[in-house]
Chain A
Amino acid sequence: MSDGRIWQRRLILALLLAPALLWLFALILLPHVQLAVLALRERVAPHVFQPSVEQFKTFFAEPLYWQVFVRTALMSIAATALTLIVAFPIAWVITKVARGRASALLFMVCLIPFWVSETVRALGWLILLRESGVLPAILVKIGLTDMPPELLYHDATILVGLVYTSLLFMVTPLVSSLESLDNSLIEAAYDLGASGFATLRKIVIPHAAPGITAGCIVVFMLSLGNYLTPNLLGGKNSQWFTELIYTQFIVRFNWEQGAAFGFLLLGLSTAIVALGLRLSGQRFVDVMRRS
């Protein structure tokens, strides 16, 4: 191949990659550099700054901050686990039980709620769960309680909302990984004397592991970084870390502290994802390729 042809191909490749690279640079890299600069400086006088780790010290010194931080992480892990437990049977039915059109229809049913914006969906939960809402009224009607209970503003409510919001992002990778599972492997396991549970543990889960891991990573990140659902469904009790960041940036106008919190959140999600991969024996590249 001549030099000219090689350069031509390189140019085409560069042009094809340009939008993605531009996006990465302008919307991901540049703001983060700016945030890093913000996070690592301290205002000593109006318009006078000096490098400092003061913001990070504040985070550890103030119990509220790191308690909310830990709570957000634990709740997100719980939401991820619950989403997996709910999504797995759904994906199983879509891929292994339903056939043809029924299978496509079921997948559509999972998709349809996502045509509505997250705000509207969260408000829908408010209508269902608030004290004067639909579900408490039903509970009173069937005589389970005398007074309509307040179902909003509990941790459980936040979890329900997070699971509902993330379900599709778990179902999709699970469906694609279960679809590639040859039915004859399941039959072979059964034929060799395995119970349903043993087949699930030894054949289905090992095969679906990359899909499970991919789904868990996405759902965990979405939950950890979610602002709207915890805020609307948890109210003042939600104590979600993104709310602290919002407060620093918008209410307190303390961009330095907000930026430091942002970096702490980024570090937290990276650390937990890495830990999850290590525990499940998966490699990030494989997970992303196979799902």
Chain B
Amino acid sequence: MSTVNLPNPPDLSCNSVVKDFAGHRAVNDLSFAVQRGSFFSILGPSGCGKTTLLRMIAGFIEPDSGEIVIGGRNMRGVAPNRRPVNMVFQQLALFPMMSVGENVAFGLARRGVPKAERISRAAAMLERVGLAGAASKRVDQLSGGQRQRVAIARSMVLEPTLLLLDEPLGALDLKLREHMKIELKQLQAAFGTTFVYITHDQSEALVLSDHVAVMNQGHFEQVGTPQQLYYEPATAFVAGFVGASNRIFGQLKSLYGDIAELETSDGWKVRARKSGQMAVGAHVEAFVRPEAATLERDASLLPSDQAHYVGKVQALLFDGANSAALLQEDLTRFEFRVALPQTGRFADLKVGEKIYFSFDPQRAICFSGHGGPHV
């Protein structure tokens, strides 16, 4: 590895990368850079082009135009087996005809590393991922989490500039997935290798990443830290895709500085911080996170500078610390989700009960948008 002392030069940069498939633009003029040693996620719904992008970085697909630079080298015309990039596949793609040790040593063997060194390096790598002594096991003797670690070890033993991960947690059950999330983050921190991770699971992206790019229809809606995406979404798509939100469609009635007041078709008026330019009368949509709202049984206890609403409890969605209540706003029957405080103060809430709620307009965000949910 080079010893250039630049502060975190990018390990990966894409410049105006374009890929078309039979008239459909899968990746549309993408440019971005990933800093050395960071954990970068590409988050998007299925069909947004994230897999195509990853396969272009790995070299399985050539971009139609634009360039991909990895570790300072332009990758045009460089075959996947000659790129300083390794990939952890969605279904892991461990070689069933080989032992665990042979799997890990496979890449070393292809580089002509002598057998004794291969075996010792594979064993050392297995030890680093917590699988010491598993070298002689068959792949089908391992659990899902262990296979995951073998797949990572198999790539990391080659010391790639960049490790690509294609939704590797997708096949695991929930409990293991939560566990592997933490393990993956720890592994990345320990190796210090740049990880590029693609997923459609926003929780994976938020928990794991230093930076997340939210991808939609072939372009990036926003690139930022998980906090930025969550608290300062740049577009309505990001606000809707990252985290849970109440999405309120309406018409802009008036502007008070950076606060917009909108009215739904049923006449419900809410206020939210505006994002971008919008004119009175335009169609807008506001996003309010469930935890931004405050619940009170006594309306006088709600913050006096906020609009107060009355709702009837429709359903209680118990999920431990993420519990929420689904309210129906009294006047307009708008369904509004409010997070229940973790203190357990509303643990006795009943379905059908009437309750007051409000939210700080600064913690809600309003984008100019479409006339209704049917886009």
Contact = CB atoms under 8 A, between A and B. Distances in A.
B36 to A, nearest CB: 21
Interface stretch (A45-53, A142-150, A181-189, A211-219): A181-189
Contacts of B85: 191
Contacts of B97: 203, 206-207
19 contacts: A182-B91, A184-B89, A187-B60, A187-B87, A187-B93, A188-B95, A191-B58, A191-B80, A191-B81, A191-B86, A191-B87, A192-B81, A192-B107, A192-B110, A193-B82, A193-B107, A194-B81, A194-B106, A206-B97
A182 B92 CA distance: 11
- In this complex, which of B60, B81, B97 has the most chain A Cβ atoms within 10 angstroms of its Cβ? B81
B111 interface: yes
A190 interface: yes
A198 B96 CA distance: 16
B150 to A, nearest CB: 12
Contacts of A192: 81, 86, 106-107, 110, 154-155, 158
B90 interface: yes
Interface string A159-170: 000000000000
- In this complex, which of B60, B85, B89 has the most chain A Cβ atoms within 10 angstroms of its Cβ? B89
Given A190-B80, A193-B110, A184 B91 contact: yes
A184 B98 CA distance: 16
B95 A185 contact: yes
Contacts of B96: 207
A195 B93 contact: no
Nearest to B79: A190
Contacts, number: 57
Contacts of B89: 184, 187-188
- In this complex, which of B80, B154, B155 has the most chain A Cβ atoms within 10 angstroms of its Cβ? B80
A193 B81 contact: yes
Interface in B93-128: 93, 95-98, 106-107, 110-111
Given A202-B106, A203-B97, A206-B97, A195 B91 contact: no
Contacts of B93: 182, 184-185, 187-188
A189 B86 contact: no
Interface residues of A, number: 17
What 3 A-B pairs have minimum CB-CB distances, sorted nearest first? A192-B107, A188-B93, A184-B93
B95 A203 contact: yes
A191 B94 CA distance: 12
Contacts of A185: 93, 95
Contacts of B79: 190
Interface in B316-375: none
Given A184-B93, A188-B93, A206-B97, A195 B81 contact: yes
Contacts of A190: 60, 79-81
B118 to A, nearest CB: 13
A117 to B, nearest CB: 41
A191 B165 CA distance: 13
B158 A193 contact: yes
A189 B86 CA distance: 10
Given A195-B81, A195-B110, A189 B95 contact: yes
A51 to B, nearest CB: 51
A184 B90 contact: yes
B126 to A, nearest CB: 16
A194 B111 CA distance: 8
Nearest to A206: B97
B26 to A, nearest CB: 18
A202 B85 CA distance: 21
Given A187-B87, A195-B110, 10 more contacts: A185-B93, A187-B80, A187-B89, A189-B106, A192-B110, A192-B158, A193-B111, A198-B110, A202-B106, A207-B97
B101 to A, nearest CB: 14
Interface string A105-116: 000000000000
Contacts of A184: 89-91, 93
Contacts of A202: 95, 98, 106
Contacts of B91: 182, 184
- In this complex, which of A188, A198, A206, A207 has the most chain B Cβ atoms within 10 angstroms of its Cβ? A188
Nearest to A207: B97
Interface string B144-155: 000000000011
Contact of A194 (B87, B90, B110): B110
Interface string A239-283: 000000000000000000000000000000000000000000000
A192 B82 CA distance: 9
Interface in A210-236: none
A218 to B, nearest CB: 23
Contacts of A195: 81, 110
Nearest to B155: A192
Given A198-B110, A202-B106, A188 B81 contact: no
A54 B67 CA distance: 81
Nearest to A185: B93
Nearest to A203: B95
Nearest to B151: A188
A215 B10 CA distance: 52
A253 to B, nearest CB: 54
A202 B110 CA distance: 10
- In this complex, which of A182, A185, A191, A207 has the most chain B Cβ atoms within 10 angstroms of its Cβ? A191
B110 A188 contact: no
Nearest to A196: B81
Contacts of A187: 60, 80, 87, 89, 93
Contacts of B86: 191-192
B59 to A, nearest CB: 8
Contacts of B98: 202
Contacts of B158: 192-193
A245 to B, nearest CB: 42
Contacts of B106: 189, 192, 194, 202
A198 B111 CA distance: 11
Contacts of A207: 96-97
